[in-house]
Amino acid sequence: SQTIHQWPATLVQPVGSPLSLECTVEGTSNPNLYWYRQAAGRGLQLLFYSVGIGQISSEVPQNLSASRPQDRQFILSSKKLLLSDSGFYLCAWRGGGETQYFGPGTRLLVL
């Protein structure tokens, strides 16, 4: 069966510091991978998606970037965090069907 991991689970970072969040998927090959952000009390906003290694599409212009160095690894990064980057970051995968499945998420607080 497929599983999706995200780490860290919680992160507190100062403004201006760098960020690296990691997502890995097990039990599937060539998944579509997605990064979402959820601000407090809000819906999910799609940030990036990837249909294959090295292929990244951005949905929202921001100071974040994403990379997919391996088939089942998706990384979200920032060189300098802003206060507005605080939120719940969710990674999701989609295989051959229509449904996206979410990882446990990383809660980021920028102070």
- Binding residues (CB under 8 A) for other proteins: these are 32, 34, 42-46, 49-51, 57, 59, 90, 94, 98-105, 107
3-state helix, strand, coil in the chain (%, to 5): 5, 60, 40
31 SS3 class: coil
Shortest gap between Cβ of 83 and other proteins (angstroms)? 21
Give the list of residues 6+ apart from residue 33 with CB closer than 8 angstroms, or none: 23, 25, 49, 50, 68, 74, 91, 92, 93
Contact 93, 100 (CB under 8 A): yes
Q: Residue 45 or 77: which CB sits closer to other proteins?
A: 45
Distance in Å, CB of 79 to other proteins, minimum:
26
Output 18 or 52, the one with its CB closest to other proteins.
52
Q: In angstroms, what is the minimal distance from the CB of 17 to other proteins? A: 24
Which tokens sit at 3?
């599983």
CB of 93 to other proteins, least distance (A): 11
Of the candidates 51, 46, 25, 30, the one whose C-alpha atom is nearest the C-alpha of residue 90 is 46
| Of 34 and 72, CB closest to other proteins | 34
> 44 vs 75, which CB is nearer to other proteins?
44
